[in-house]
Amino acid sequence: MQIVDKLNKIDTSKVGGKVKYYRLLNKMSVAELSELTGVSRDNILQYEECANFCPPAFCAAAAKIWGIELELLSDDFIVFINSDYVAKINSEKERTGLSYSKIAEKYGIAPATLLGWVKGKYAPSRASFRKYIKDNPLFYDSL
């Protein structure tokens, strides 16, 4: 099968499909990508087959290896996780003089959740991204 035929059969609507697409486009084996990223071959195969999960750090590393923008390889969640979202929260705090709790209230985020992000206790999950972040003007200036 020609490489073009293989590429045309990949579902690139999901992150894993995009990883596989760019890996094949760059004529790279799973083993080579594993060696360059430090991620096991089995995990990479799992990411490529999974509907929509690839760790943000892996996506960022693969994009760098292939010399492409992260946005080409990922979805909105991964782009967000790799952004400086805590700086946006802190900027809002400085700009408005509001406490983190008041910022959370203003933007419809559970206060404990926002504080956990700011303190680095954990990063937003996909569920939190969908619930609190996607289309939230705190994080997206264009809204």
The pLDDT tens digits of the residues spanning 11-56 come to: 888 888 999 999 999 999 999 999 999 999 999 999 998 755 788 8
Angle of helix 85-96 relative to helix 111-118, nearest 10 degrees, comes to 110
The pLDDT tens digits of the residues spanning 58-94 come to: 999 999 999 999 889 888 888 898 889 999 999 999 9
Q: Which residues of 38-61 are buried (b: 16+ CB within 10 A; e: fewer)?
A: ebeeeebeebbeeeeebebebbbb
**Can you list the domains of the chain with their CATH numbers?**
3-80 (1.10.260.40), 84-133 (no CATH)
Whether 41 contacts 31, CB under 8 Å: yes
What confidence score (pLDDT) does residue 51 get? 56
What confidence score (pLDDT) does residue 130 get? 92
Whether 61 contacts 89, CB under 8 Å: no
**Is the model's pLDDT at 3 over the cut of 50?**
yes
What pTM did the predictor assign? 0.68
**Is the model's pLDDT at 95 over the cut of 60?**
yes
What confidence score (pLDDT) does residue 142 get? 47
